[in-house]
Amino acid sequence: MKFFLDTANLDEIKKGYKMGILSGVTTNPSLVVKEGVKFEDRIAEICQAVPDVESVSAEVTPIALTAEDMIAEANELIKINGGDKKVTIKLPMTVAGLEACRYLTKKGVRTNITLIFTVNQALLAARAGATYVSPFLGRLDDISEDGVLLVEKIAAVFRTHNLDTQIIAASVRHADHVTRVAMAGAHIATMPLKVVEQLTKHPLTDQGMEKFSTDWEKVVSK
Ligand code: G3P
pLDDT tens-place string over residues 95-121: 999 999 999 999 999 999 999 999 999
C-alpha 154/C-alpha 7 separation (Å) is 24
- Catalytic residue numbers read 90
Q: Which atom of ligand 1 is nearest to the CA of 139?
A: 9
Closest Cα to atom 3 of ligand 1: 171
**Residue percentage of the chain with pLDDT more than 90:** 95
Per-residue confidence (pLDDT) for residue 140, from 0 to 100:
98
CA of 172 to the centre of ligand 1 (A): 7
CA of 173 to the centre of ligand 1 (A): 8
Q: Is 171 in the pocket of ligand 1 (CB under 6 A)?
A: yes
Say whether 34 sits in a helix, a strand or coil: helix
Per-residue confidence (pLDDT) for residue 219, from 0 to 100:
85
CA of 216 to the centre of ligand 1 (A): 44
At residue 176, what is the residue type? D
Q: Is 138 in the pocket of ligand 1 (CB under 6 A)?
A: yes
- Which of 52-86 are b and which e, b meaning 16 or more Cβ less than 10 Å from the residue's Cβ? ebbbbbbbbeeebeebeebbebbeebbebbeebeb
Specify whether the CB–CB gap between 122 and 157 falls below 8 A: yes
Averaged confidence pLDDT in the chain: 97
C-alpha 222/C-alpha 201 separation (Å) is 32
Least Cα distance to 93 among 132, 58, 122 occurs for 122
End-to-end CA distance of the chain: 47
Least Cα distance to 56 among 45, 42, 74, 43 occurs for 43
**Rounded to an integer, what is the distance from CA 5 to the centroid of its chain?**
6
Specify whether the CB–CB gap between 154 and 170 falls below 8 A: no
- Find the helix or strand (DSSP H, E) in which 204 lies: helix 203-220
Least Cα distance to 125 among 139, 107, 112, 138 occurs for 112
Q: For the chain, which ranges sit under pLDDT 70? A: none
Q: What is the 3-state secondary structure (H, E, C) of 70-111?
A: HHHHHHHHCCHHHHCCCEEEEEECCHHHHHHHHHHHHCCCCE
Instruction: Give the residue, out of 88, 90, 136, with the most ligand 1 atoms within 8 A of its beta carbon, to mutate for a pocket test.
Output: 136
Closest Cα to atom 10 of ligand 1: 171
Closest Cα to atom 9 of ligand 1: 171
Q: Is 190 in the pocket of ligand 1 (CB under 6 A)?
A: yes
Task: Say how many C-beta atoms besides its own lie within 10 A of residue 214's C-beta.
Answer: 9
Specify whether the CB–CB gap between 188 and 134 falls below 8 A: no
Q: Which atom of ligand 1 is nearest to the CA of 136?
A: 2
Per-residue confidence (pLDDT) for residue 208, from 0 to 100:
98
